[in-house]
Amino acid sequence: MRRRRPGARRSTDRAPAAADPRIPLRHDGRDRAYLLHVPEHVADDHPPLVLQLHGRGVDPVTFDRWTGFSALADEAGFVLAMPQAVGEIWNDGRYHGGRWRSVEEVDDVGYLLAVVTDACERASADPGRVYVVGMSNGAVMAGRLACEHADRLAGVAQVAGTAAADIVATCHPAAPVPLLSIHGTGDRFARYEGGRARGLRAKFYLRHPAGPLLGVDAWAELLARANGATGPIVEQIGLDATLRRWAGATPMSDLAFYRVEAGGHTWPGMRGWVPPFLGPVTRSFDATRVAWDFLSPHRRG
Spans of all domains in the chain: 3-295
The average pLDDT across 20-40 equals 94
Q: What is the pTM of this model?
A: 0.92
Phi first, then psi: give them for residue 47, nearest 5 degrees.
-75, 165
Q: Of 75, 62, 52, 130, which Cα lies nearest the Cα of 295? A: 130
Q: What is the pLDDT of residues 249-295, one digit of tens each?
A: 999 999 999 999 999 999 999 988 888 889 999 999 999 999 999 99
The band of 201, judged by pLDDT with boundaries at 50, 70 and 90, is: low
Q: Of 198, 73, 91, 203, which Cα lies nearest the Cα of 137? A: 91
The residue among 42 and 139 whose pLDDT is bigger is 139
Q: Give 244's strand partners.
A: 234, 257
The residue among 198 and 132 whose pLDDT is bigger is 132
Measured between alpha carbons, how far is 91 from 103 in angstroms, rounded to an integer? 6
The residue among 13 and 297 whose pLDDT is bigger is 297
- DSSP 8-class letter at 284: S
The average pLDDT across 8-22 equals 51
Q: Of 131, 134, 170, which Cα lies nearest the Cα of 252? A: 131
The average pLDDT across 12-19 equals 46
Q: Of 146, 149, 221, which Cα lies nearest the Cα of 178? A: 146
Q: What is the pLDDT of residue 19?
A: 63
The average pLDDT across 206-220 equals 87
Q: Give 30's strand partners.
A: 27
Q: Of 181, 45, 205, 188, which Cα lies nearest the Cα of 125? A: 45
Residue 14 in this model has a pLDDT that exceeds 70: no
Q: Give 42's strand partners.
A: 3
Give the range among 41-50, 52-61, 108-117, 215-224 with minimum mean pLDDT: 41-50
The average pLDDT across 99-104 equals 92
Q: What is the pLDDT of residue 203?
A: 59
The band of 10, judged by pLDDT with boundaries at 50, 70 and 90, is: very low
Q: What is the pLDDT of residue 205?
A: 58
Give the range among 14-18, 132-136, 182-186 with minimum mean pLDDT: 14-18
Q: What is the pLDDT of residue 3?
A: 42
Q: Of 27, 119, 33, which Cα lies nearest the Cα of 79? A: 119
Q: Of 112, 121, 69, which Cα lies nearest the Cα of 90? A: 112
Residue 34 in this model has a pLDDT that exceeds 60: yes
**The CATH number fitting domain 3-295, selected from 3.40.50.1820, 3.40.50.880, 3.90.1300.10, 3.40.50.300:** 3.40.50.1820
Q: What is the pLDDT of residue 43?
A: 77
Residue 184 in this model has a pLDDT that exceeds 70: yes
The Cβ of residue 286 has, within 10 Å, a number of other Cβ atoms equal to: 19
Q: What is the pLDDT of residue 229?
A: 98
The average pLDDT across 125-146 equals 98
Residue 13 in this model has a pLDDT that exceeds 50: no
Residue 90 in this model has a pLDDT that exceeds 60: yes
